[in-house]
Amino acid sequence: RASSELKRERTVVKALGFEVGGKKVAVIAGPCSVESEEQIVSIARKLKELGATALRGGAFKPRTSPYSFQGHKEKGLQMLAAARAETGLAIVTEVMAPEHVPMVAEYADVLQIGARNMQNYQLLQAVGDSGKPTLLKRGMSATIDEFLLAAEYILDRGNPNVILCERGIRTYEEHTRFTLPLATVPYLNDKSHLPVVVDPSHGTGKAKLVAPMSKASVAAGADGLIIEVHEDPEHAASDGAQTITPAAFGQLMAQCRRIAEAV
């Protein structure tokens, strides 16, 4: 079960040298979308040097508008594989459909289930059957209980490698893209044995807010962060407004390290 009623040991999820739920704060960083092989290999090199522990990048993109860039799909997965070959960074990428799970699992080290698919039960089961480490994002209108039950769909298929991700919820508030409730972190740490990661990029929608909310997440006890980084955020294919530069990411990493030591 996702809850820790049974007082079982905390889950540590491991994939290709990447670990979430252990002593160190895991940092998954990269662009919202994989745009080209040059882009993803180049940013992966920089992120690795700056201390990222895994690379994110979407090949299958769940876009609000059908007219927006939908991702390079399998070609995007191949570009991610090239970045892994170059850097050794584990790859975290979204899978949107149950029938795509075997294909995405071939290239990825960690499967991401997007907020919009948190309650796609067939997808949860397919990812459960794959046995692959999975980053499950909280649905933007899901309660914490619904979030934990979604995680149980994966666990119930015999896949214990689930990472919970708080990525912000819909509220009446409009100053940020979503509202990022950081009380989720200590609450889930008490309620569940699963590791908890925070996404301050989607959680706020604003690049300026990413660093302070990352630091607050680490202070609150998050096991990891997932952060959108691009060399030229203004020209990113998606989510540029909430994307930080490698330079800003480097500064943030140094600050998070100090906070992690203090908590």
Cα–Cα distance for residue pair 25/141, rounded to 1 Å: 27
Count the site residues for ligand PEP by CB under 6 A.
9
Nearer to ligand PEP, 4 or 245 (CB): 245
Q: Smallest gap, in angstroms, from Cβ of residue 142 to ligand PEP? A: 11
Rounded alpha-carbon distances, angstroms, from residue 183 to 5, 79, 131: 20, 36, 30
Cα–Cα distance for residue pair 108/92, rounded to 1 Å: 6
Closest residue to ligand PEP, based on beta-carbon distance: 114
Q: Where do the H-state alpha helices sit in the chain? A: 37-50, 74-87, 101-107, 121-130, 144-155, 184-191, 200-204, 207-219, 246-262
Residue 15 sits at φ, ψ, to 5 deg, of -155, 120
Q: Smallest gap, in angstroms, from Cβ of residue 228 to Mn ion? A: 6
Q: Which stretch binds ligand PEP (CB under 6 A): 38-46, 68-76, 113-121, 186-194?
A: 113-121
Nearer to Mn ion, 201 or 217 (CB): 201
Task: Single out the residue of 114, 128, 200, 246 in contact with ligand PEP (rule: CB under 6 A).
Answer: 114
Nearer to ligand PEP, 100 or 137 (CB): 137
Question: Is 32 among the residues that bind ligand PEP (CB under 6 A)?
Answer: yes
Q: Which stretch binds ligand PEP (CB under 6 A): 81-89, 98-106, 111-119, 206-214?
A: 111-119
Question: Is 230 among the residues that bind ligand PEP (CB under 6 A)?
Answer: no
Angle between helices 144-155 and 121-130 (to 10 degrees): 40
CA-based angle 223:17:9, to the nearest 5?
A: 45
Nearer to ligand PEP, 21 or 31 (CB): 31
Question: Is 115 among the residues that bind ligand PEP (CB under 6 A)?
Answer: yes
Q: Which among 137, 47, 50, 130 is positioned nearest to 84, based on CA atoms?
A: 47
Task: Single out the residue of 46, 48, 137, 177 in contact with ligand PEP (rule: CB under 6 A).
Answer: 137
Nearer to ligand PEP, 115 or 210 (CB): 115
Nearer to Mn ion, 112 or 192 (CB): 112
Angle between helices 246-262 and 207-219 (to 10 degrees): 20
Q: Could you list the residues that contact ligand PEP (CB under 6 A)?
A: 32, 58, 62, 114-116, 137, 167, 202
